[in-house]
Amino acid sequence: MALKDTPAVSTYADHEVIRPHNKLRKLVTVKPLEPGEVDPVARAEKALAELSTEFKSWMEAECDRLDAARNAVKTSGFTQISRDALFRASHDIKGEAATLDFPAMAQAAESLCRLLEHTPDPTRIPMRLVDQHVDAVRAIFREYARSDAKELAATLTKRLREVTDEFLVRENRHRPEYLETIMSPPIAPEQSG
């Protein structure tokens, strides 16, 4: 018998899927709303809609932060501080893209995260490859209103991913087990944008 807070684990040949116990279920009530009581989900959606006018300026600020982090790397090289700042800026864009209504930006930011996370010696990362990632993120943001923006973003990020994977294969060739892990396809489905 499993303990109450023990996660459920499904084991497969090459990976495990761990589903932690959902403690939030206890906090959510399934009783019908009282007359006049406001649905908390509807209230949250309304609040998000009211904030949506700010999304573009917030994402622009995130793009500026990413650009500043890139410029810090150009100035001081890949130090632990500059690498971490660049990673955090790209990771934040990856995480905020869908919420701020710019989901097509996530994949380009994710590719930069992969590059930074899986390169054994960051000082070997070509600055041109970093520039391509940052410029792609900024271009996708800038051109987001275009009718073909999502298709262009998909094409651009596909190529970025290919170039990044080529670099990661070369840089991790001495670590075949690690390379197998980072080059395997993601378990979670890609988000549509």
Q: pLDDT tens-digit profile of 148-167? A: 989 999 999 999 999 999 99
Task: List the domains of the chain with CATH numbers.
Answer: 55-183 (1.20.120)
Q: What is the pLDDT, as a whole number, of residue 193?
A: 47
Q: How is residue 49 written in tokens?
A: 């809609």
b/e map 58-85, b = 16+ CB within 10 Å = ebeebbebbeebbebbeeeebeeebbeb
pLDDT at residue 183 in the model: 84
What does the pLDDT read at residue 25? 56
Return d(Cα 86, Cα 68) in angstroms, integer: 8
d(CA 188, CA 22): 19
The per-residue pLDDT for range 112-149, each reduced to its tens digit, is 999 999 999 999 999 999 999 999 999 999 998 889 98
User: Is pLDDT at 91 greater than 70 in this prediction?
Assistant: yes
Taking a C-beta distance cutoff of 8 angstroms, is the pair 137, 63 a contact? Answer: yes
If DSSP states are collapsed to H, E and C, what string results for the chain? CCCCCCCEEEECCCCEEEECCCHHHHCCCCCCCCCCCCCHHHHHHHHHHHHHHHHHHHHHHHHHHHHHHHHHHHHHCCCHHHHHHHHHHHHHHHHHCCCCCCHHHHHHHHHHHHHHHHCCCHHHCCHHHHHHHHHHHHHHHHCCCCCCHHHHHHHHHHHHHHHHHHHHHHHCCCCHHHHHHHHCCCCCCCCCC
- Residue 20: band (very low, low, confident or very high) from pLDDT cuts 50, 70, 90: low
Chain length of the chain: 193
Compute the average pLDDT of residues 82-103.
Answer: 95
